[in-house]
Amino acid sequence: MTGKLFLVGTPIGNLKDITLRALETLKNCDIIAAEDTRQTLKLLNRYEIKKKLISYHKFNENAKSEDIIKLIEEGNNIALVTDAGMPGISDPGSVIVKQCIQKDICFEIIPGATALITALVYSGLDTTGFTFKGFLPKENKDKKEVINEIKNLKGTIIFYEAPHRLNKTLQFLFENIGNRKVAICKELTKLHENIKRTTLVEAIEFYSENEPRGEYVIALSGKTDEEIQIESMELWKDISVEDHILMYINRGKAKKEAVKLVAKDRKLSKNEVYKFSLNI
């Protein structure tokens, strides 16, 4: 009889932030695959859980995924955990999920605390829409590709960052997208949890004088309606009405909304602009 894989969300700092369902899963599984067995052992000891532990991290993820699937096919129930948070979110887990889907292996998600959602709510920024980018790449060329993807987004943008890279990341964001509102969330759910709501310029100044320590989540405000309006005023002057409509559609607006915005920009009636949208 084939076993099952359980991807278990674990606390992101405070060990009390674990669900009853997660504890039940860890107690009932046959083997626990852990990103760092020493870190997971702290959690297991806290709740008096004794299980066989195997290592599963980003450096052995591909090979270990095959080994774990073999164990599941032999009838074992495997719980996969990372050091903190949800497996697969900027942590190992996505590789084995893809392999389970390909091989029709049954798996189940046991949800738990996630730093990005905690930071988003703490930030006080827009929560109706957001983009999560994890850790920015190390190379400037790769980072600029990410910036080009997000610089025109209206929703909040979430990043993870290590303390030794925080200053450079804040500086890079400022240089490439300007001075925006930002919430810098430190050590979420832990003893020294701190939320700094400020701007990129003020954050750069603060962390140049105060050495960052701990793990950070950066919640960055998206582009404002005012910024979009100003840019639109500059862009549409030398383009046709049709291209003006397409400009808004390419930014994610429905055609009806695009017509309305073009009419407002050009101080025309919506009916007049609508005629230009018929072939779009």
Amino acid 44: pLDDT: 97
pLDDT at 240 over 70: yes
Instruction: Give span(s): CATH 3.30.950.10, the chain.
Output: 116-220
Most confident of 57-66, 102-111, 231-240, 266-275: 102-111
State the average pLDDT for the chain. 92
Instruction: Give span(s): CATH 3.40.1010.10, the chain.
Output: 5-113
Give pLDDT tens digits for 147-178. Answer: 989 988 989 999 999 999 999 999 999 999 99
Domain 116-220 has CATH 3.40.50.620: no
Per-residue 3-state assignment (H helix, E strand, C coil) for the chain: CCCCEEEECECCCCCCCCCHHHHHHHHHCCEEEECCHHHHHHHHHHCCCCCEEEECCCCCHHHHHHHHHHHHHCCCCEEEECCCECCCCCCCCHHHHHHHHHCCCCEEEECCCCHHHHHHHHHCCCCCCEEEEEECCCCHHHHHHHHHHHCCCCCEEEEEECHHHHHHHHHHHHHHHCCCEEEEEECCCCCCCEEEEEEHHHHHHHHHHCCCCCCEEEEECCCCHHHHHHHHHHHHHHCCHHHHHHHHHHCCCCHHHHHHHHHHHHCCCHHHHHHHHCCC
State the fold for domain 5-113: Cobalt-precorrin-4 Transmethylase; domain 1 (3.40.1010)
pLDDT band at 50 (very low <50, low <70, confident <90, very high): very high
